Amino acid sequence: MDQSPGLIVRRSARHDTALRAQITVAPEHAGLVRLNAGASKSGAADGDMVDFGAGGVGIVTGVFLPRKCVLRLRVAHPVRADEVLLDVFVRVQRTIMTDRRPAYLVGASFEKPTPEQAAQIEAMIRRLEEPGVERAG
């Protein structure tokens, strides 16, 4: 007998982290979504990647991002800023206001990762599973 009829069950482990991230709206949604005043003049918004798993990420940011919006997410190495750990496209699955600053917790899934992006995702998982690895920048 099926133990979870109709339930969506997470199939991968999530790793808590605190890495600085940069978010931009992907080209396919750039005409529909514009980041608010919390974004820089370049059109990018800063945030913190607070969790990571094989299926997606959690990001805390000061800008509201609508559900289903596709974003480009870039995460630099916490020590060597010129080294990019992650450069992927994600699709917003949920946005929750966390406090009155405002701040939003965005849950996003990876959007059609290329082989190179899939390798970056796997490398990030390996890095986060290493004992004693830095998780904050």
And the tokens for 123? 């490398």
Q: pLDDT by residue for the chain (137 residues), tens digit each?
A: 455 566 544 456 788 888 999 999 888 887 788 776 556 666 788 999 999 998 999 999 988 899 999 999 999 888 887 888 999 999 999 999 988 888 999 999 999 999 999 999 999 988 888 766 554 54
Its pTM stands at 0.80
Give me 70's structure tokens. 């596709």
Q: Which domain holds residue 55?
A: 25-108
pLDDT at 1: 46
In-domain check, residue 11: no
Quick check: is 4 in a domain? no
- Residue 49 forms part of a structural domain: yes
Is residue 19 a contact partner of residue 133, using CB atoms and an 8 Å limit?
A: no
- For every residue of 25-59, DSSP letters joined together read E-GGGTTT----TTS-TTS-EEEEEEEEETTEEEE
The pLDDT of residue 7: 52
Burial label for 66, CB within 10 Å (0-12, 13-18, 19+), is: exposed
